[in-house]
């Protein structure tokens, strides 16, 4: 049976959660320092994103994703997103719903989504990061709810993201699978800039549709998260960019600043993964209060 660890006592929690006030403007120093929690330190000896050793399900997932994430599909997915409300529930109810999903693209863990969300949020919290940062850790994968509604499988929900409408970078994992993507044969889409212009800014780039884009748009409309938090949500799976240095020629000046905060978030998303599980019921009161702080409406439209 997996170990269940007890959370901090009430006094420790109070001290650790008082790192920023409700109205405090986010400071770059809040997320730029390289402090790591004991959970992250304990994980540094473990290898992550070892795709050459990945389960067959991971490889099959990326083969399908790379084949089907086309410009045409992405345009239609965005039209579908705006056309209806799929569900209404609280954030906590949504997190519980995600317990039914096993991410087929993840080679590092087979724990439930709520376990990963709490591992990430708690690692951020223990480092004394601002409360908006903690919330990002909790909800960054909440967009995976898309799997239960409009998805055609997991290929349009999870996995690393990348721009469509321009040449697929060789820095994308399993790049060779793009040979079966129709856009690889399109005279415009296969060029370096494709449908974009140099340094047009990532706000103007269509990233492969999935939980990042879905949750980013929901959070942009229904939370009071700062731009840094929204960027962490939108780009956390954009590994070719934030970890491999690809697509810099599409960035504008604002993207250079946001890249830093996405890179600050990434270790918490990646290295907090472990077999240690938190007691969900003990953590629930703290995170319900945190959710209410940044979601003006308790019932979220998904």
The per-residue DSSP string of 111-124 comes to: S-HHHHHHHHHHHH
Is residue 17 one of the residues assigned to a domain? no
Which carries the bigger pLDDT value, residue 26 or residue 57?
57
Is residue 115 one of the residues assigned to a domain? yes
Which carries the bigger pLDDT value, residue 272 or residue 194?
194
- Return the pLDDT at 20: 41
Helix (H) / strand (E) containing 165:
none
Is residue 295 one of the residues assigned to a domain? yes
The two three-digit tokens of residue 300, written as one number: 């979220």
- Return the pLDDT at 9: 39
Q: How far is CA 206 from CA 114, 129, 156, in A?
A: 28, 30, 14
pLDDT digits (tens, 9 = 90+) for 26-44: 454 466 665 555 555 555 5
Residues placed in the known binding site: 49, 103-105, 116, 140-141, 144, 159-160, 211, 236-237, 269
46-55, 83-92, 233-242: least confidently modelled range: 46-55
Residues placed in the known binding site for substrate: 49, 103-105, 144, 159-160, 236-237
Residues placed in the known binding site for Fe cation: 116, 140-141, 211, 236, 269
Is residue 19 one of the residues assigned to a domain? no
How long is the chain? 302
Which carries the bigger pLDDT value, residue 29 or residue 262?
262
Res 10 pLDDT > 50: no
Residue range of the domain that includes 286: 55-301
Is residue 226 one of the residues assigned to a domain? yes
Write the DSSP symbol of residue 44: T
Kindly report the average pLDDT of the chain as a whole number: 86
Is residue 282 one of the residues assigned to a domain? yes
Is residue 166 one of the residues assigned to a domain? yes
**Number of domain units in the chain:** 1
- The reported pTM is 0.84
Helix (H) / strand (E) containing 153:
none
Res 148 pLDDT > 80: yes
| Mean pLDDT within 23-27 | 45
pLDDT digits (tens, 9 = 90+) for 98-110: 888 876 666 555 6
| Mean pLDDT within 202-222 | 98
Is residue 3 one of the residues assigned to a domain? no
Residues near 179 by Cβ (< 8 Å), separated by ≥ 6? none
């Amino acid at each position: 049976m997996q170990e269940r660890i007890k959370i901090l006592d009430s006094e420790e929690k109070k001290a650790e959660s008082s790192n920023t006030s409700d109205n405090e403007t986010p400071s770059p120093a809040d997320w730029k320092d390289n402090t790591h929690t004991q959970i992250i330190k304990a994980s540094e000896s473990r290898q992550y994103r070892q795709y050459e050793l990945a389960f067959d399900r991971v490889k099959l997932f990326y083969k399908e994703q790379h084949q089907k994430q086309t410009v045409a599909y992405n345009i239609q997915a965005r039209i579908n997103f705006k056309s209806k409300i799929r569900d209404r529930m609280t954030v906590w109810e949504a997190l519980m719903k995600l317990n039914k999903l096993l991410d087929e693209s993840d080679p590092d863990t087979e724990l439930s989504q709520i376990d990963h969300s709490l591992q990430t949020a708690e690692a951020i919290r223990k480092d004394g990061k601002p409360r908006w940062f903690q919330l990002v850790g909790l909800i960054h994968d909440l967009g995976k709810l898309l799997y239960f509604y409009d998805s055609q499988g997991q290929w349009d929900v999870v996995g690393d993201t990348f721009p469509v409408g321009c040449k697929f970078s060789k820095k994308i994992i399993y790049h060779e699978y793009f040979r079966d993507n129709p856009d690889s044969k399109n005279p415009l889409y296969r060029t370096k800039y494709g449908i974009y212009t140099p340094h047009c800014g990532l706000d103007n780039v269509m990233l492969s549709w999935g939980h990042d884009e879905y949750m980013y748009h929901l959070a942009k409309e229904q939370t009071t998260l700062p731009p840094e938090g929204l960027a962490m949500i939108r780009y956390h799976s954009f590994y070719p960019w934030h970890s491999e240095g690809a697509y810099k020629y599409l960035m504008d000046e604002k993207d250079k600043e946001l890249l830093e905060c996405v890179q600050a978030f990434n270790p918490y998303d990646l290295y907090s993964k472990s077999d240690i599980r938190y007691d969900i019921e003990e953590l629930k009161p703290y995170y319900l209060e945190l959710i209410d702080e940044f979601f003006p409406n308790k019932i979220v439209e998904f």
